[in-house]
Amino acid sequence: MVQQDRSGKDTLLDARGLTKRFGDILANDRVDLIINKGEIHALLGENGAGKSTLVKMFYGSLEPDAGEIHWDGAKVNIGNPAAARELGIGMVFQHFSLFEALNVVENIALALPNPGNMTDLANRIETVSRDYGLPLNPTDIVADLPVGIRQRIEIVRCLLQEPRLIIMDEPTSVLTPQEADQLFLTLQRLAQEGCAVLYISHRLEEVQRICHHATILRHGQVVRECDPTKETPASLASMMVGADVASVSASEQKPEIGEIRLGLKNLSAKAATPFATALNNISMDLRAGEVVAVAGVAGNGQGELFDAISGEMRVSPEMVQIDGIPSGTRNITWRRRQGAAFVPEERLGHGAVPGMKLSQNIVLTRHSTGDKLVGAGFVSDAQAGLMEQRIKQTFDVRMSHDDPEARSLSGGNLQKFVVGRELDRKPGVLVVNQPTWGVDAGAAALIRQALIDLARSGSAVLVISQDLDEIFEIADRIAVISRGYLSVAEPAADMTRERVGLLMAGGAETQGEVA
C-alpha cells in the first residue's frame, strides 16, 4: 500500500523502510511510519505481526537491519534505551520491568538519569501519580503489590522522565475500567500539551475512542492506515487479520449441567502480607458443562483465590474439593493428577519459565499427568516436541523457529501457548486467570471458544477476568469478588453491567457467599 503523506512541520518521528530479520523470519519488512506531535497513534496487528519488534527499534532495544529513523527532522541512530530516553522517547512495557525486592521509589530511581534525593523523588512520585489519577505509595514493596498497581509504577516512571513520545504496549490490560478512563484523560492531556503517544492495544474499542490515527501491520508489513474514529472495532479487527473475525458461539440451548467438579466450602485464608487480600467464607459449586466467571477489580483477592484452588496456598482440606475429594492441603501436582489444570495471570515467570524452551515448559506442568512424557525416570523429548507442535498448530502460536525459549515469544503468542498447553490436556476442571490478557481479537475469540467447548464436553471451567466483555460473552454464571468476598454466582442472563459494577464496589460483602 501507499502510505498516507502526513509528514510536515509537526512530524516528531519518521521511520523510513525499517527492516528487521531474525534468521528466516522477516519481522519487519520496509516499514514506514510517521508520528506527529500531539498525536495518539495506534499501532495494530495480530500477535506476531511485528509490532513489538518495531517499537523496540524506536526504543533502542533492537537495531534495524535496514532503514532510517528521523527524529524531529534529523536522522538519528538509537543505539540503546538510554539514547532513546535522552531523545525523549519513553516506553511502558507489556511485561513489567520491575525489581520485586525493591520498593516503588527505588524502582523508579533506577530508571532516572538523575534521581536526586530519594525523599524529594518520593514526593514527586506522590504528586505526579496523584495528579494523573494513578496514586502510588513510594514505600510499598513491589512484591506485595497486585498487577494493577505495578502497571501504575511503569506508567508513572515513564511520566517522570518527561518524554516527548510515549510508547504504550497494552497499558490497560491490568487496569480497572475506572483506572483506564483516568489513563485516557491523562493521555489526552499529554497530547494537548504536544506529547505524542504510540498506543498498542488489542482492545479496539479503546483505539476507536482515543486514537487520532492508526497504522495496521500484518506479517511485518504496513497494510492499512486509517482514522479509527471513523471505523468500528469489527472493521479494525478485519484490517488486522485480513478477514472477518469469527464470533464466539456459546450454545443457544442451555448447557447440560452435570455433577459438581469443583467445590469451594467456606474458603477462608488470612492475608499472607500486609498488602495481600484475605479470603472470607467463599463458597461456590462449579459443575460439569458450565463456565463460571469471577469478575472484580484487580487486587480484590483474585490472585489469592487462584492460589488456594491451584494449591499454591494451602487451606483446610474440605475448603477445596475436586470431584468430591477434599483437596485443600494437597499440592499442585496432586491436583493435576486429579484432572485439574491451571493458567495463572502472569504468563512470563509464573505460567512459563522465560529461559526454557516451550517443550520444556510443557514438561513442567504435565510430567505427572499421564501424557507419556516421563518413563522410567527419563523425559521423552520426542513426546514433548510433538505436544509443542500440536499446541502451536491448534492455537496458532507464532514463533521464529520451532521450540523457542518462552521469553522469545510476543506476549500474545505466549498467552496462547500457556492457555493451549492446559486446554490440550482436556482437563476435568480448568481454572484460568485473565485468559485473553494481551491477545488480539482473533486469538481472543479462539481462546474463548475453546473454553466454551471444553465446558460443553463435560468439564467445569472457572474464568477469573477483569474484562466484562469477555465475561458476558462466555459465562453461564457470573460471580463478583470484592475485598476477598465472593457474591453468589448468578445466571449471566440475569446480570447486567450495572449490577456487576455495584458488586465490584463492595456489594459482594453483603450479597452472601453461598452459591
Per-residue pLDDT at 251? 55
CA atoms within 13 A on the CB side of 344: 18
pTM: 0.71
Q: What is the pLDDT along the chain (515 residues), one digit of tens a residue?
A: 445 556 667 999 999 999 999 888 899 999 999 999 999 999 999 877 899 899 999 999 999 999 999 999 999 999 999 999 999 999 988 767 889 899 999 999 998 888 889 999 999 999 998 887 788 999 999 987 866 788 889 989 988 988 999 999 888 766 666 677 888 988 998 999 899 999 998 888 899 999 999 999 998 999 999 999 999 988 998 898 876 666 677 655 567 889 999 999 999 999 988 768 899 999 999 999 999 999 987 778 999 999 999 999 999 999 999 999 999 999 999 999 999 999 999 888 899 999 999 999 999 999 988 888 888 889 999 999 999 999 999 998 988 788 999 999 888 889 999 999 999 999 999 999 999 887 777 888 889 999 999 999 999 999 999 888 889 999 999 999 998 999 999 999 999 888 887 888 765 554 544 34
Per-residue pLDDT at 514? 39
HEC assignment per residue over 242-287: CCCCCCCCCCCCCCCCCCEEEEEEEEEECCCCCCCCCEEEEEEEEE
Per-residue pLDDT at 48? 79
Cell of 327: 483437596
Per-residue pLDDT at 245? 65
Burial class (CB in 10 A: 0-12, 13-18, 19+), 162: exposed
Cell of 192: 494537548
How would you classify the pairing of strands 374-375 and 340-343?
unpaired
Per-residue pLDDT at 499? 87
Q: How far apart are the first and last CA of the chain?
A: 55
Residue 305 · residue 282 · CB < 8 Å: yes
Per-residue pLDDT at 272? 87
Per-residue pLDDT at 508? 58
> 3-state DSSP: the chain helix, strand, coil percent, rounded to 5?
35, 25, 40
| Residue type, position 38, single letter | G
Q: Is 479 helix (H, G, I), strand (E, B) or coil?
A: strand
Q: Tell me the DSSP string of 395-457.
A: TT---SSSS-BGGGS-HHHHHHHHHHHHHTT--SEEEEESTTTT--HHHHHHHHHHHHHHHHT
Alpha-carbon distance of 506 to 350, in angstroms, equals 29
Cell of 344: 495463572
Q: What is the CATH superfamily name and number for domain 247-339+428-515?
A: P-loop containing nucleotide triphosphate hydrolases (3.40.50.300)
Residue 411 · residue 170 · CB < 8 Å: yes
Alpha-carbon distance of 430 to 427, in angstroms, equals 6
Per-residue pLDDT at 150? 84
CATH number 3.40.50.300 is the correct assignment for the domain at 11-241: yes
Across-strand partners of 196?
Answer: 165
Alpha-carbon distance of 458 to 259, in angstroms, equals 9
Task: Provide the residue ranges of all domains of the chain, joining segments of one domain with +.
Answer: 11-241, 247-339+428-515, 348-424
Per-residue pLDDT at 250? 66
- Distance between alpha carbon 256 and the CA centroid of its chain, in Å? 31
Per-residue pLDDT at 274? 74
